Structure 1
Amino acid sequence: MSDDVGPTEWGTSVGVGPWEGAWPTDERYDPELLEHGDRRNVVDHYRYWRREAIVADLDTRRHDFHVAIENFQHDHNIGTVVRTANAFAARGVHIVGRRRWNRRGAMVTDRYQHVHHHPDVESLVAWARAEGLAVVAVDNTPGAEPVERAALPPRCVLLFGQEGPGISDDSRGGADQVVSIAQFGSTRSINAGVAAGIVMHTWVQQHADLANAW
């Protein structure tokens, strides 16, 4: 059975059973999944497809934004960020700082998403410059532009800090644009995974072709 099934999906009715009728001859289909069923957390379009075929097809659909998150204190939100980046078809996810992170929250979506590592912010910014990508840091700091009013660049890296301390001074200094998320309650900060979802969706609202959504 495929090892792409999320940790909460074994033994449930999620997905589809074995293929009924003559098997398709398209090489994108996985014989094991056709025989036993596909219980993975994938959209119906990709049912029974090999993982490599899904990634290849996603590569033709990915958007021109990347997501980066600082991981200098083993941030537990990274899995959520990766899962959301997959949902919005980010071009890539970049982990800045510590290489190790808790993948459980990603619900195996990291297997369908290109995940890169940078030892520090300087190397991330240098990579972004070489790729012609603007760096947009997200933090509720004085002088930040409300993302609700901001024009996000079509090609960019959305850079998020850690839960609590927010983005580092290096991130703020290397950013082409700093945006904030409007808040109306008593707490000072917002969960980093939630913040990433909000800003990614803002990019989608401004630049994505909704006709390509599932």
Structure 2
Amino acid sequence: MDELEVGVGPWSGPWPDDPRYDPELLANGDRRNVVDQYRYWRRDAVIADLDLRRHDFHIAIENWQHDFNIGSVVRTANAFLAREVHIVGRRRWNRRGAMVTDRYQHVRHHPDAAALVSWARGEDLPVLGIDNLPGSVPLESADLPRRCVLVFGQEGPGLSEPVRAACERVLSIAQYGSTRSINAGAAAAIAMHTWIRQHAVG
């Protein structure tokens, strides 16, 4: 069976007189991982349009061991239109899981937890941890602030002690099976969708 082609081929008919369109994409087709609204648009035009509508939550994830989940977190943050993604720790991260969405998502680096917390305080943003820790509050019944930073720990150990200490609250995701935790990519998707349900739907 032939593999289905993604995207669209070269533009058919007279080219649009609109500076958002990319002549190279119009001529050769657009096979990027973008919604139809942005077909043939220049990358900077897509980013500028997204910037007009970004939501007021930020996502932060700790990166001490080159976590493979970070790409998935970035991709989900793009899907839910997070304001920014913050990588805490190592600057380099595995981009494969992002499926090129990092080209359209603002990503900021902080060398350590103190730098993230300092930035968040400067922006007057509460930091909320997502982890299944003793004393955590169930995410399912929590009211999330419209403006906030949702922070996730490294896969395995979870939130580091410095990040835990800086969190206004730590929220847990209800689980019913035998596993101790779900991976950071899945947890981030659940938390982002919870924010969307509270502040962006309806």
Given the alignment, which residue of 152, 163, 179 partners 2:171? 179
Q: Could you tell me which residue of structure 2 aligns to residue 7 of structure 1?
A: none
Please state if 1:51 is matched with 2:52: no
Structure 2 counterpart of 1:207: 199
Moved over 2 A (4+): none
Equivalent position amino acid for 1:143 in 2: G
Please list, as runs of the form range in 1=range in 2, the aligned pairs for 1:154-165 lying within 5 A after superposition: 154-165=146-157
2:50 aligned counterpart, secondary structure: helix
SS in 2 for 1:126: helix
Task: After TM superposition, give the deviation of residue 85 of structure 1 in Å.
Answer: 0.2
Return the TM-score normalized by structure 1.
Answer: 0.92
Counterpart residue number, 1:82: 74
Q: Is the counterpart of residue 133 in structure 1 residue 142 in structure 2?
A: no
Structure 1 residues 29-178: aligned runs within 5 Å: 29-178=21-170
Give, in whole Å, the separation in 1 of the partners of 2:114 and 2:4: 45
Deviation at 1:73, TM superposition (A): 1.2
In structure 1, the gaps of 5 or more residues are 1-10
Task: Give the unaligned 5+ runs of structure 2.
Answer: none
Q: CA deviation at 1:143?
A: 0.6
SS where residue 151 of structure 2 aligns? strand
Q: What is the CA-CA distance between 1:177 and the residue it aligns to? A: 1.3
Quick one: which amino acid aligns to residue 87 of structure 2?
I
TM superposition shift of 1:209: 4.3
Distance 2:123 2:38 in 1: 30
**Which letter maps to 2:69?**
N
- Once the two structures are aligned, what percentage of the paired residues are identical? 71
**TM-align CA RMSD:** 0.9
SS in structure 2 at match of 1:148: helix
Deviation (angstroms), 1:12? 4.4
Distance 1:99 1:13 in 2: 34
One-letter amino acid of the counterpart of residue 125, structure 2: L
Query: 2 CA distance for matches of 1:192 and 1:13?
Result: 31
Instruction: Tell me, in whole angstroms, the C-alpha distance in 2 between the residues paired with 1:59 and 1:132.
Output: 20
- Count residues in correspondence: 200
Tell me the SS of whatever aligns to 1:84.
helix
